[in-house]
Amino acid sequence: MAYKKLFSSWAGFAAIFSSGLVHAEYAWNFPEPVTPLARDTLHVHNEFMLISIAIFLVVLAIMIYSIFTHRKSKGHQPANFTGPSTKSQVIWTLVPFALLLFIDFVVMGIPAYHSVVMMEDTKTDAEIVLKVTGSQWKWQYEYPAEGIKFVSTMTTSEEQINNKEAKGEHYLLDVDNHVVLPINKKIRILLTSTDVIHTWWIPQFGAKRDAIPGFMRETWAKIEKPGIYRGQCAELCGKGHGFMPIVVEAVSEDDYKVWVDQQKAKLASAAASAEKQWSKDDLMKQGAEVYAKQCVVCHQANGQGMPPAFPALAGSKVINGPMLDASGHLIKDGHLDRVMNGKPGTAMQAFKTTLSDAEIASVVTFERNSFGNKMGDMVQPSQAKALR
């Protein structure tokens, strides 16, 4: 199996190289910067790289000269010095170090100082706050001032990843909900996590910062050019580490306002729907959608999970048991409690922080009546709301 695949890889390799000239997108440096920070970083990087390459080439040239001249086959007689002996030799020995000291702390040190100060100044003139929460393996975004909140998950299909379908243009870098941000406004980005450490990184923003559970970290971006910018989680965070992309859509201020209004309207209708009584069919239908987005990575499409790390839902004791006690409170470690509050120390997170009432109610209803589970009961969004 593996051999065959490897063999076809070689064939693919040849094909790519022969066609490489046509659509080559080789990147030899950072991608085009679109924020002041990224521009500054690129500038500093280029300058330091040139200095480093120059130092390397000078030293290499000296070595190569020596290797070709001072060799026995050419009859070169060895000298026997072991250190600088005369005063002028001592001075000449010190010159490279003085030069290096100067490069380290002046040529590199001063621009580096300004870059760091700039990078860390997340607050001055910040106009918008975006809160980013990493969870295994998706990002949740919140605009505290607008009350907007949504989850962003990867849309690349399992079939594409497992080579059963052709890979799309934005393979592994596409999500369902883009983060929409206005251009030319300084955005203060707050970061945290619900489980393990993740890192939020968009190369074109020059911003990379860890999202740490229980703590708030921050960075910033002032996007100067409208467009769609893509990045990925950069800190190993478990099996889905390679599959939690970040997509930011930078738009004009007017478009941003339109988007904000749309999102608010959506949230309002979601809140209204939480109040009404849902039919079981509606809950099952919505539940299947939520399951496919939120749960399927670990518990699998057939509900068999990947034990022991990710337990099966089919025939699960938790699901096929009671979830509310006689007075309507959550039973500890019951199905609804597990979905809402998670299981500490595992990848099962507290979904009440990321999902709406309707989503929680529908997915729990779905799980209780799928994969051979036949509980027959259901949860209403209003119940989920009351139990928060």
Please list every residue from 110 through 129 that binds another protein, using CB under 8 A.
Answer: 112-113, 115-120
- Asked if 90 interacts with another protein (CB under 8 A), we say no
Binds another protein (CB under 8 A): choice among 39, 170, 280, 385: 170
- Asked if 196 interacts with another protein (CB under 8 A), we say yes
- Asked if 25 interacts with another protein (CB under 8 A), we say yes
- Asked if 93 interacts with another protein (CB under 8 A), we say yes
Residue holding tokens 């990321």? 354
For residue 147, give the nearest of 125, 129, 123 by alpha carbon: 129
Q: Which C-beta is closer to another protein: that of 207 or that of 336?
A: 207
Binds another protein (CB under 8 A): choice among 142, 155, 160, 292: 160
Determine contact, residues 342/333, Cβ cutoff 8 Å. no
- Asked if 353 interacts with another protein (CB under 8 A), we say no
Binds another protein (CB under 8 A): choice among 73, 85, 86, 124: 73
Question: What x/- string results for residues 29 through 68 when contact with another protein is judged by CB under 8 A?
Answer: xxx-----x--xx--xx--xx--xx-xx--xx-xx--xx-
- Asked if 231 interacts with another protein (CB under 8 A), we say yes
Binds another protein (CB under 8 A): choice among 163, 184, 262, 302: 163
Q: Which C-beta is closer to another protein: that of 32 or that of 224?
A: 32
Residue 253 DSSP SS3: helix
**In the sheet that 138-143 helps form, which strands lie side by side, from edge to edge?**
148-152, 138-143, 128-135, 187-193, 217-221
| Number of neighbours of residue 211 by Cβ within 10 angstroms | 26
- Residue 217 buriedness (CB in 10 A; 0-12 / 13-18 / 19+): middle
Q: Which C-beta is closer to another protein: that of 37 or that of 355?
A: 37
Q: What is the DSSP string of 8-42?
A: HHHHHHHHHHHHHHHH-----SPPPP-SHHHHHHH
Evaluated on CA atoms 358, 361, 365, 371, the torsion sign reads positive
- β-strand 207-211 against 198-202: which pairing, if any? antiparallel
Binds another protein (CB under 8 A): choice among 22, 79, 272, 326: 79
Query: Which residues, including other chains, have CB under 8 Å from residue 316's CB and lie 6 or more apart?
Result: 373
- Asked if 342 interacts with another protein (CB under 8 A), we say no
Instruction: Name the one range near another protein by CB under 8 A: 3-11, 125-133, 249-257, 350-358.
Output: 3-11
# residues near another protein by CB under 8 A: 111
- Asked if 16 interacts with another protein (CB under 8 A), we say yes
